[in-house]
């Protein structure tokens, strides 16, 4: 039995390279080339597998890029449950500018899903046997998918007595929070959108997260706050972690790695504090590597020793 299943409605193959300098008009010759599976839930499944756990990934595939995506995940040992869509699976494009130490991230919209296509995902989830203890929905919704899609998933998860963990944004996050889920993982931008507020410091952000918990939007709010660090907020506990001082190389997938480590450790029976510690380390470890390489287990273990957890 797999305890964790992930859902990615808008997956991608991520193409990354590096150039000396980004200039208009000129031909920019890449120094390297790599392709990685991408999309929120897919990244979560990859990191859980890498850390020693097991997660199945549910996602749509379309065209040659969809075939490549499935192949890349097969190579990483990820069990996939897919369905075919008419549109082509998207590619995203990341460029590291060596001279300035900057990264450019081009996120493409992906294919539109019609009603039959997105409802196929609901059918796949409803028919999972045995049903997982944790279902992780992560990433954006493509065109054609209603804002309450994740809320519909949450209702299925509740009916099966499982836990719904969510990382999305905008109206999709608001609709799912109105339904109520077990965990949400917003960053500061997503918190602004969800709460309509602009707290002035980390403590005020924690208060805003606590209000979401008290209103029944989520049992746990895992809040990533950039240079303010991160917080894990429940009804009876607030855990804080300052950022680990590192030099970032790429921000792609850091939030996905954070969520993956958090869910995996919770599913393994770890305490919230231990799960939070590993999550902070996994998010930071992802910043050390190019493209969508995500975190490496040895980096996660090393950085976990540097995470300081404070309890409010």
Per-residue pLDDT tens over the stretch 167-214: 999 999 999 999 999 999 999 999 999 999 888 888 999 999 999 999
| CB-neighbour burial class of residue 270 (10 A; exposed 0-12, middle 13-18, buried 19+) | middle
Percent of the chain whose pLDDT exceeds 90: 89
Is pLDDT of 1 > 80? no
Q: What is the mean pLDDT of residues 210-229?
A: 95
The pTM of this model reads: 0.95
Angle value at C-alpha 135, between 226 and 310, nearest 5 degrees:
35
**Is-contact 202 231, C-beta < 8 A?**
yes
Predicted pLDDT of residue 238: 97
Q: Rounded mean pLDDT of the chain?
A: 95
Predicted pLDDT of residue 248: 82
pLDDT digits (tens, 9 = 90+) for 252-310: 889 999 999 999 999 999 999 999 999 999 999 999 987 678 999 999 999 999 999 99
Report which listed range, 22-26, 91-95, 273-277, is most confident: 273-277
Contacts with 210 (C-beta within 8 Å, 6 or more apart), sequence order: 221, 233, 235, 238
Closest by CA position to 140, among listed 294, 11, 293? 11
Which residues are marked as active site? 256
Q: Where are the alpha helices (DSSP H) in 25-94?
A: 40-50, 63-75
Question: d(Cα 290, Cα 311) in Å, to the nearest integer?
Answer: 33
**Is-contact 192 213, C-beta < 8 A?**
no
Predicted pLDDT of residue 250: 78
Is pLDDT of 129 > 90? yes
Contacts with 301 (C-beta within 8 Å, 6 or more apart), sequence order: 281
Closest by CA position to 23, among listed 106, 108, 105, 99? 99
Predicted pLDDT of residue 247: 85
Is pLDDT of 44 > 90? yes
Residue 208 phi, psi (nearest 5): -65, -40
Question: d(Cα 103, Cα 106) in Å, to the nearest integer?
Answer: 10
- Which one has a higher pLDDT value, 102 or 123? 123
Burial 212-223 (b: 16+ CB within 10 A, else e): bbeeebbbbbbb
Q: Is the dihedral of CA 169, 50, 107, 287 positive or negative?
A: positive
Is pLDDT of 227 > 90? no
**Is-contact 51 145, C-beta < 8 A?**
no
Measured from the Cβ of residue 56, the count of other Cβ atoms closer than 10 Å reads 17
């Amino acid at each position: 039995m797999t305890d964790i299943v992930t859902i990615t409605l808008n997956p991608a193959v991520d193409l990354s390279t590096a150039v000396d300098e980004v200039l208009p008009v000129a031909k920019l010759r890449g120094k390297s080339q790599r392709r990685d599976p991408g999309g929120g839930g897919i990244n979560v499944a990859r990191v859980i597998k890498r850390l020693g756990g097991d997660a199945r990934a549910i996602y749509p595939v379309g065209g040659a890029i969809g075939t490549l995506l499935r192949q890349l995940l097969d190579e990483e040992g990820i069990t996939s449950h897919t369905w075919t869509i008419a549109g082509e699976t998207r590619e995203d494009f990341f460029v590291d500018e060596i001279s300035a130490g900057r990264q450019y991230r081009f996120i493409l919209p992906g294919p539109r899903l019609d009603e039959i296509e997105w409802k196929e995902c609901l059918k796949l989830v409803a028919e999972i046997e045995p049903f997982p203890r944790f279902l992780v929905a992560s990433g954006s919704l493509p065109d054609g998918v209603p804002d309450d899609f994740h809320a519909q998933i949450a209702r299925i998860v509740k009916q099966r007595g499982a836990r719904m963990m969510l990382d999305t944004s905008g109206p999709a996050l608001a609709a799912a929070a109105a339904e109520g889920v077990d965990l949400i993982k917003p960053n500061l931008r997503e918190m602004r959108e969800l709460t309509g507020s602009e707290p002035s410091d980390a403590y005020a952000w924690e208060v805003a997260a606590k209000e979401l918990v008290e209103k029944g939007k989520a049992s746990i709010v895992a809040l990533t706050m950039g240079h303010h660090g991160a917080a894990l907020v429940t009804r009876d506990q607030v855990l804080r972690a300052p950022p680990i001082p590192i030099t970032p190389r790429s921000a792609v997938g850091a939030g996905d790695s954070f969520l993956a480590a958090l869910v995996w450790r919770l599913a393994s029976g770890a305490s919230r504090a231990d799960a939070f510690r590993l999550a902070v380390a996994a998010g930071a470890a992802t910043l050390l590597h190019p493209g969508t390489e995500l975190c490496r287990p040895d980096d996660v273990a090393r950085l976990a020793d540097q995470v300081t957890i404070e309890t409010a």
